[in-house]
Amino acid sequence: MQGERPGVRIPLSGLLAERKDLLWGILWFGGLALTWVWLDVYLNAPARILVGAACIHTFSGAVAAVVVALVIGWGTALFLHFLESTRRRGAYLAVSFALNLLRSVPQIVGMLIGYVIVTGLTLNEALTSDTSLILATSLVTALFVFQEVVDLIRERIRHFESLEFVSALLVCGIPSRVIINREILLKNSMPYLVQKSVALFGRAIFLICSIDFIVSVGLSAEVSLSNLPVTLGSMLAKLDSKQDILAIGTAFTDLRVVPTLFVEHLQGISVAFLIVYTLLCVYRIANGLMERYRL
Amino acid sequence: MTPSRFDISISAGERLLVDVHAFPIQEGAITFLFGESGIGKSLIGKALFGLLDESEFRVRVNGMSYAEYRESAGARAARANGFFMFQEPSSHLNPLLTLEGQMKEGTLARAPDPLGAARELWRDGDRGTLPRILPVYPKAYRPSGGEKQRLLAAMAFTRMDIAFADAVDASGEPGAPGLFVFDEPTGSLDREARDRFLDRLFARFRLRHETILLITHDYGMISYVQSRHRDIGKDYRFMELFVSAGSARTREFDPARFLTWLGGLRAEPAVTAKKPLLRVEGEIRVFGRVLRFSQPGGGTGRDALAVRPGELVYLKAGSGIGKTTVAKIVIGLQNADHFRLEIDGVRLGDVSPRQYWRRHLWGKKMTMAFQHADESLNPRASVDDTLRILNMKTIQDRKGVAMALARLFDTGEIPGLTGKKVWQLSGGQKQRLNLLRAFALETPLIILDEPLSALDFESIDRVLGIMRDARVRGRAILLISHNEDIFDRLVSPESVYSLESADPSFSPS
């Protein structure tokens, strides 16, 4: 299960080669830092501040979505387990049906519906600050990814319940909730939960950027992307960024444009780069964790 | 294998696991290697046989690199003409080939009767269970652990027979001797099956003195071997592996020490006056079998098993009959088609809600120490957590944990132990922790399934001491064990029960 081998000390030189999650984590942070230095030199201040804000909003929104997904997923998994173990079949089937119904909705479509609700709340002035808007969109994102957490936790509980140590703890009078939360999930499933969280972080960034790009046409006469906190997706949808992206196409036919890409078209290219590079690194980190802990 | 004394060091990364000097493996002799589980007995056997993975371990044998040792003429002959019987039979057997196919596979097919050795190890020969399990593809649960062990032992015996036939047929120089390693060959066998295995082993050994390394923690073998095969006492020796300064070392084990200790065990008087704390009625129907209790010692319980406060009740049966199943039924982890029991005046049976055990019995009136400590402890929990989770008043802090551990661990062993994760412990340490957890709860009834497995001699003595203390404090103990050599002496005959299967198609082997 877990990858540690007793007594085997990994030499420092081989650490990064062996721990690809760590390697890609360093590459990600390094890439972000290098991009920021480059933008600091070549991008005008208002645009640079906008890119910085987009990064912060996107990443904090994704982190919030992961946290909310973990909380909802953990709670739902425990609730389902409780219904199943106490043989409340009707309630169990009802909750399972509701979850499967939610699962059947395509994530992008579901999130669009969620954004419509967020728009409604914004119009009613229920959501006014950037923080509340980011949390609301994170909740929408979490609602369409949390079932992965439910599946993971239920699979871990099922696996460990078939092992003798759970029976041994039960006959010692240890309550099921302690066994599940502490002994199974915290002590024996942390690598799984961390890996899932990293994967969900990447998924959340992808969904947030996709939706923000899609809704760039505006959600209503009063609420548009200009009202919502700027994210990497919405930055990409701005006219300036689109022109920068189009410049990449021009560079294929006119090589003289290539040097200007990295100094004159920085806003769009850096935003596109940050999205693609982040998704690549997060994907590699998640894979690295899987390899390291043999999940 | 030519040298008779081996210097073996085995390391994993920076950690020295085994460091033995002048370990005697005399050619043409039997070496019994005792010791606590998980301290390196199997590693030594595998190192000598050339089975260790060099990517995982750094091994040196008699100053040679492991590659040099493995390619030496002696080691190659040991492998080519010998056999290694693995401790865990399921890992030895191929799940994609029937057991009969495996009995006739490779060089074993050269034997005139490849199934002959297997028949010797079954009490009912080829008329009982053996023909029924031979066409089976081995699975984790079928055949039973004891049956698998006997089949593997039979393979080793067949290999010995072939080596003997080769030596007899050879016109010139006798062939290079092989090495036969038996790693815990009798761990799942009852005493009768174990003794039959030893008799067949010695019978072959008398014909041709093979080089045999028998790894075990069953010290009871000593009394049997000493009583039945003392006439060739110069051809076998007892060694013990122990841990010193963090690595495993060997020393000679004096059989008289164990025999004197064994002779000093006295059965405590049976408790008959008190009302039973647990009473299990005499017929349990489970898995299509009917299980019944009997009292070979002539107790008064007739067909019911009764355990009174302060009493040690010993339940024994042949391998695979269902002792552990009965224990799990009593503790409420396993349901049955039919059973009736009474615990502390409350009647329970197959229709009783499982929640009753959970709410009223587990950890309050009864608990159980499972047979395999490896599986019954959370490997990712620390020793400290394993005891503190019980939420006992006496084990709230590190001092309380240390005091609890001191009952079964050496004082010097404890400081580094409390923070260790369970997966870092040796098999014997896990077993001691497993038992401590059960005793720490102070429940009126404690069920112990094979409490002495994986333990060395000193630990066995300490565990018996804890059991005695618990009884003195009025705790009732229901004990399941293969260690008949010890418990037949320790338990009063009136408190010994035998479990039998009434299914005519099933017979203990």
User: ipTM value of the model?
Assistant: 0.83
Supply the pLDDT for residue A219. Answer: 52
Q: For residue A158, tell me if it sits in a domain.
A: yes
Alpha-carbon distance B357 to nearest alpha carbon in chain A (angstroms): 9
Supply the pLDDT for residue B295. Answer: 84
| B 461-500 → A contacts, CB under 8 A | none
B423 touches chain A (CB under 8 A): yes
Supply the pLDDT for residue A110. Answer: 92
Q: For residue A47, tell me if it sits in a domain.
A: yes
- How many angstroms separate the CA atoms of A148 and A95, rounded? 16
Confidence of residue B289 (pLDDT cuts 50, 70, 90): confident
- How many angstroms separate the CA atoms of B215 and B46, rounded? 11
Per-residue HEC secondary structure of chain A comes to CCCCCCCCCCCHHHHHHHCHHHHHHHHHHHHHHHHHHHHHHHCCHHHHHHHHHHHHHHHHHHHHHHHHHHHHHHHHHHHHHHHHHCCCHHHHHHHHHHHHHHHHCCHHHHHHHHHHHHHHHHHCCCCCCHHHHHHHHHHHHHHCCHHHHHHHHHHHHHHHHCCHHHHHHHHCCCCHHHHHHHHHHHHHCHHHHHHHHHHHHHHHHHHHHHHHHHHHHCCCCCCCCCCCCCCHHHHHHCHHHHHHHHHHHHHHHCHHHHHHHHHHCHHHHHHHHHHHHHHHHHHHHHHHHHHHHCC
Query: Chain B partners of A2 at a C-beta cutoff of 8 Å?
Result: 380
Confidence of residue A86 (pLDDT cuts 50, 70, 90): confident
Alpha-carbon distance A19 to nearest alpha carbon in chain B (angstroms): 17
Confidence of residue A7 (pLDDT cuts 50, 70, 90): very low
Supply the pLDDT for residue A12. Answer: 61
* Domains in chain B, CATH or no CATH each: 5-92+155-263 (3.40.50.300), 278-501 (3.40.50.300)
CATH number at residue A207: 1.10.3720.10
Tens of pLDDT, residue by residue over B157-174, are: 999 999 888 876 655 555
Work out the mean pLDDT of chain B and round it to a whole number: 88
Average pLDDT over residues B125-129: 62
Considering A115-124, A192-201, B285-294, the range whose residues carry the highest mean pLDDT is A192-201
Tens of pLDDT, residue by residue over A132-159, are: 999 999 999 999 999 999 999 999 999 9
Across the interface, whether the CB atoms of B13 and A7 are under 8 A apart is answered yes
| A 157-196 → B contacts, CB under 8 A | 163-165, 167-174, 178, 182-183, 187-188
Q: For residue A11, tell me if it sits in a domain.
A: no
Single-letter amino acid, residue B424: Q
Count up the domains in chain A and report the number.
1
Q: Chain B: residue nearest A179 by CA?
A: B389
At residue B162's C-alpha, the angle toward residues B157 and B163, to 5°, is 95
Alpha-carbon distance A54 to nearest alpha carbon in chain B (angstroms): 41
Alpha-carbon distance A152 to nearest alpha carbon in chain B (angstroms): 19
Q: For residue A166, tell me if it sits in a domain.
A: yes
Closest partner residue to B437 (CB to CB) among A9, A172, A178 is: A172
Confidence of residue A3 (pLDDT cuts 50, 70, 90): very low
> How many interface pairs between A and B have CB atoms less than 8 angstroms apart?
82
| A 53-82 → B contacts, CB under 8 A | none
CA of A106: how far to CAs of A111, B218, B289, in Å? Answer: 9, 62, 52
B365 touches chain A (CB under 8 A): no
Q: Which of B357, B372, B374, B380 to mutate to test the interface with A (most CBs of A within 10 A)?
A: B380
Across the interface, whether the CB atoms of A163 and B375 are under 8 A apart is answered yes
Say yes or no to pLDDT of B354 above 60: yes
Supply the pLDDT for residue B40. Answer: 86
Q: For residue A12, tell me if it sits in a domain.
A: no
B67 touches chain A (CB under 8 A): no
Q: For residue A237, tell me if it sits in a domain.
A: yes
Across the interface, whether the CB atoms of B363 and A174 are under 8 A apart is answered yes
Supply the pLDDT for residue B45. Answer: 93
| B 303-342 → A contacts, CB under 8 A | 331-333
Query: Chain A partners of B368 at a C-beta cutoff of 8 Å?
Result: 168, 171
Q: For residue A216, tell me if it sits in a domain.
A: yes
Confidence of residue A9 (pLDDT cuts 50, 70, 90): low
Across the interface, whether the CB atoms of A183 and B381 are under 8 A apart is answered yes
Say yes or no to pLDDT of A211 above 60: yes
As a residue count, chain A comes to: 295
Domain that holds residue A227: 24-293
Q: Which of A13-17, A37-41, B407-411 has the lowest mean pLDDT?
A: A13-17
Supply the pLDDT for residue A277. Answer: 96
Closest partner residue to B380 (CB to CB) among A171, A172, A188 is: A188
Tens of pLDDT, residue by residue over B453-476, are: 888 888 999 999 999 999 999 999
Q: Which of A165, A193, A293 to mutate to test the interface with B (most CBs of B within 10 A)?
A: A165
Closest partner residue to A173 (CB to CB) among B12, B14, B362 is: B362
Q: For residue A8, tell me if it sits in a domain.
A: no
Confidence of residue B509 (pLDDT cuts 50, 70, 90): very low
Considering A18-22, A87-91, B135-139, the range whose residues carry the highest mean pLDDT is A87-91
% of chain B residues with pLDDT over 70: 94
